[in-house]
Amino acid sequence: MIIFGINYLKMKRLLLLLSTALLLMCCQARQGWVKVEGNKFVDAQGKEIIFRGLCFSDPVKLVNDGQWTERYFEEAASWGANVVRFAVHPANINKMGWEKTFEVMDQGIEWAEKHGIYVIMDWHSIGNLKEELYTNPMYNTTKEETFRFWRTAASRYKDTPTVALYEIFNEPTVTGTGECSWTEWKELQEQIIDTVRTYNPNAVCLCAGFNWAYDLTPVASEPIGRPNVAYVCHPYPMKRPQPWEEQWEKDFGYVADTYPVICTEIGYCLENEPGAHIPVISTDVYGEHITKYLESKGISFTVWCFDPHWAPTLISDWDFTPTTQGRFFKQYLQGL
């Protein structure tokens, strides 16, 4: 067929070549590492990037549920996420086996890259790493095992900028788990950062405070003594009573004036929804307030949890039907 003097098949091949070239250019643009500049994350071109995305549940759980598929990543991208968080539980990586679990995550990282999504690698334990005391057996780990995880991840993904952020320890707490001062926790985190950087000098490491990764007040006097780090907060709605904003500013928001902050868990559910528990019970009012506050401070976030079983859930089934907070955050992310 000839269209305006141009052979149709030749034009089709040309368009295919052009689209392939554009795709390659986009992929190459994302090959450089995300890094910290001042209080911002910046991409490979030096442009500020604010991460807004979703927390995945544990990769091993998703494999066992038959849901660790490309479709899972496609759905996250369609919701508007530019980052997803892999919550790697010590009990699960040991149950499946380390090499098998990392092979599973390799595939997930390929899918994430294909769909233009960054990855947060999260060592998902809750408790006191110094004393090796935890709130549930699924979080049981040791300092030796934690260092092993980060050596393995950092060496395996040292050439993979898609794995942009290394979240050292999910939720530190000393409530019922022995004693640990901020100074001791700071020094232990710095040791882990040094281990990561031995294998991957480009890694951006994420550091959390006590009170289940909520309290960042000690950062004012004793910040982490390493470059290219950011701070983590999990400001669930019941951590403080309303009105929230003034308290958020004192507890963690002020840090964003000097360093990057990412809330790697936010979220809520109604009192009568499955899995409702302290500290996550609230309504869309929380969603409106937390997103407005984080945007005003340039703080990144990921919402817990893109799974129908781990509350507060974003979906009610594996058809990805949104829950109450799922409807709110899906609309919000897609609007951006």
In tens, the pLDDT along 248-261 reads: 999 999 999 999 99
Please report the pLDDT score of residue 326 as a whole number.
98
Q: Which domain holds residue 168?
A: 34-335
Question: How many structural domains comprise the chain?
Answer: 1
Spatial distance between the Cα atoms of 32 and 158, rounded to a whole number of angstroms: 12
Q: Which one-letter amino acid corresponds to residue 9?
A: L
Per-residue pLDDT tens over the stretch 154-163: 999 999 999 9
Spatial distance between the Cα atoms of 332 and 336, rounded to a whole number of angstroms: 7
Q: Would you place residue 3 in the very low, low, confident or very high pLDDT band (cuts 50, 70, 90)?
A: very low
In a domain, 282, yes or no: yes
In a domain, 25, yes or no: no
Mean pLDDT throughout 181-189? 98
Q: Would you place residue 179 in the very low, low, confident or very high pLDDT band (cuts 50, 70, 90)?
A: very high
- pLDDT at 51 exceeding the cut of 80: yes
Among residues 263, 254, 177, the alpha carbon closest in space to that of 223 is found at 254
Among residues 155, 154, 178, 177, the alpha carbon closest in space to that of 166 is found at 154
Spatial distance between the Cα atoms of 52 and 23, rounded to a whole number of angstroms: 23
CB contact at 8 A, 206 and 265: no
Query: Rounded to 10 degrees, what is the CA torsion of 76, 311, 264, 206?
Result: -120
CB contact at 8 A, 156 and 102: yes
Please report the pLDDT score of residue 31 as a whole number.
59
In a domain, 99, yes or no: yes
DSSP strand E in 169-260: where? 171-172, 204-208, 229-232
Please report the pLDDT score of residue 28 as a whole number.
40
Q: Which residue has the tokens 């290219």?
A: 228
Please report the pLDDT score of residue 180 as a whole number.
98
- pLDDT at 19 exceeding the cut of 50: no
Please report the pLDDT score of residue 176 as a whole number.
96
pTM: 0.91
Least confident of 19-33, 51-65, 126-140: 19-33
Task: Classify the phi-psi angles of 320: left when phi > 0, otherwise alpha if psi is within -120 to 50, otherwise beta.
Answer: left
CB contact at 8 A, 115 and 77: yes
In a domain, 120, yes or no: yes
Positive or negative: CA dihedral 112, 116, 121, 124: negative
Beta bridge partners of 261: 231
Q: Would you place residue 30 in the very low, low, confident or very high pLDDT band (cuts 50, 70, 90)?
A: low
Residue 214 is classified by DSSP as: T
DSSP-based helix, strand, coil % in the chain, nearest 5: 45, 20, 40
- pLDDT at 74 exceeding the cut of 90: yes
User: Given the DSSP bridges, would you call strands 261-266 and 229-232 parallel, antiparallel or unpaired?
Assistant: parallel
In a domain, 11, yes or no: no
In a domain, 28, yes or no: no
CATH of the domain at 69: 3.20.20.80
Mean pLDDT throughout 128-153? 98
Mean pLDDT of the chain: 93
Per-residue pLDDT tens over the stretch 205-227: 999 999 999 999 999 999 999 99
Mean pLDDT throughout 28-33? 63
- pLDDT at 286 exceeding the cut of 60: yes
- pLDDT at 185 exceeding the cut of 50: yes
In a domain, 227, yes or no: yes
Q: Which residues contact 276 (CB under 8 A, 6 or more apart)?
A: 269, 270, 311, 312
In a domain, 138, yes or no: yes
Mean pLDDT throughout 267-292? 98
